[in-house]
Amino acid sequence: MRYLPLTADDRADMLARVGVDTIDALYADVPADELLVELPNLPRAKGEMEVERILSRMAGKNLTASAAPFFCGAGAYKHHIPASVDHLIQRSEFLTSYTPYQPEITQGTLQVLFEFQTQVANLLGMDVANASMYDGSTGTGEAVLMAHRITKRRKAVLSGGLHPHYALVVATLSQMASDSVVGLAPNVGGDEDVAAAIDAETSCVVVQSPDVFGRLVDLAPIAEAAHAAGALLIAVVTEVVALGAIEPPGTQGADIVVAEGQSLGNPLGFGGPYVGLFATRQKYVRQMPGRLTGETVDADGKRGFVLTLSTREQHIRREKATSNICTNAGLCATAFSIHLSLLGEAGLGRLASLCHEAAIEVADALALLPGVEVLNDTFFDEFTVKLPCDAAGLVEKLAKEDGILAGVPVSRLLPGAGLDDLLLVAVTECSTADDRAALVAAISEAL
């Protein structure tokens, strides 16, 4: 009980204060099937060194992205991160800085955020960007809430090409706010008519491009249909490197753009930390969640930076806050900004070309295998393959027998949807010619 100093009486007093009888009552809003009915099957007592050894042995069973030909994507991508990125973000002024509660004192932090915002706004083709969100999925949820505030409507339409995890975040936030969510069927065939789902009650339509199946989406006609109905278009990008090759969502008519910035400067992780990019039109800036850093001059006319807009509950907004996200992903945003600065516009374009060319090579080779069909007519660096077998079983076989991480089975993202034969394959500049040849050969042999 070293770390549990409260007594039974203490807990009873706390429960009485919040007005419930039991601890279980605190979890009344959690679906019953998500709760554990019994303790997990773990040893009840182990020493710290014993636990470290056990977990190390378990971790040793993993086949890591850096130790194998790697073709997994589905929202988290392996790109080369220059050593200079890690070196710079480990400087103490970056590594230890946190939320600027006295912002004018932290000029260095504010300048970094200002430069980050400028890059994001340019990259996404929008007027203004905030100083980052937790990640792309929570940013998408915040974008839907923002659209509700702007339109005074409470219904969101989600494209069937939106990443299922992003859709779940939106559904969770909407359930708590009693908002309506219409999720379209998975857009495997590429023939989705999002505009047909928009009506007079629709606040926003959420469309991802490239979508979760890798397909590029023309956002302009969807934006036109949404605007005609008084709704907003929220565009989502999970592979931000794609913006080095394709037209940014802002120039296609999007009102709010949300992206996952992990692909630049941030390594793969088991859930993060990542960095959410969030941008909008100037006219909606006061409804934008998070915080905004602005440029100004001081009393002597010298360039300086201030926290121009901060709509969060932490800044004494309480129930008037437009967002309950309590921080920006500052260090991850800095890593993103450093990596993008090193690349520059031309470098980002070359990186995007390398990824696209490598993906075309793999897609063309797989399409020649008997029984294999590439479903995409368009893609950037990720595409969907239809197999004559169970995709999850194939991935498991190649991982164990060939040491190849062949992709993400769609069944992992959409269990029970009857899409067990679909595999998402992502190919970036980190794959070598030998890696790509090994993947095709291993799949050919396995089939």
Q: Spell out the domain ranges in the chain.
A: 65-80+344-446, 83-340
The pLDDT mean for the chain works out to 93
Whether 291 shows a pLDDT value over 70: the answer reads yes
> CB within 8 A of 273, min separation 6: which ones?
134, 135, 266, 329, 331, 332
CA distance 287 to 143: 10
- pLDDT-derived band at 44, boundaries 50, 70, 90: confident
| pLDDT (0 to 100) of residue 409 | 98
Q: What is the pLDDT of residues 186-232, one digit of tens each?
A: 999 899 999 999 999 999 999 999 999 999 999 999 999 999 999 99
Whether 323 shows a pLDDT value over 90: the answer reads no
Mean pLDDT to the nearest integer, 262-285: 94
| pLDDT (0 to 100) of residue 312 | 57
| pLDDT (0 to 100) of residue 317 | 62
CA distance 333 to 276: 8
Closest CA to 328 of 169, 120, 145: 120
Rg of the chain over Cα atoms, rounded to whole angstroms, equals: 23
Whether 12 shows a pLDDT value over 70: the answer reads yes
CA distance 6 to 4: 6
Q: Are the beta carbons of 141 and 187 closer than 8 angstroms?
A: no
Ranges 5-14, 318-327, 378-387: which has the least confidence: 318-327
Fold of 83-340: Aspartate Aminotransferase; domain 2 (3.40.640)
Q: What is the pLDDT of residues 121-141, one digit of tens each?
A: 999 999 999 999 999 999 999
Q: Is 105 exposed, middle or buried (0-12, 13-18, 19+ CB in 10 A)?
A: exposed
Report whether the peptide linkage leading into residue 164 is cis, meaning its omega lies within 30 degrees of zero. no
What would the CATH number be for the domain defined by 65-80+344-446?
Answer: 3.90.1150.10
Mean pLDDT to the nearest integer, 106-127: 95
Mean pLDDT to the nearest integer, 79-97: 91
Whether 314 shows a pLDDT value over 70: the answer reads no
**Alpha helices, H only, 204-329:** 220-228
Ranges 22-31, 98-107, 327-336, 370-379: which has the least confidence: 98-107
Whether 101 shows a pLDDT value over 60: the answer reads yes
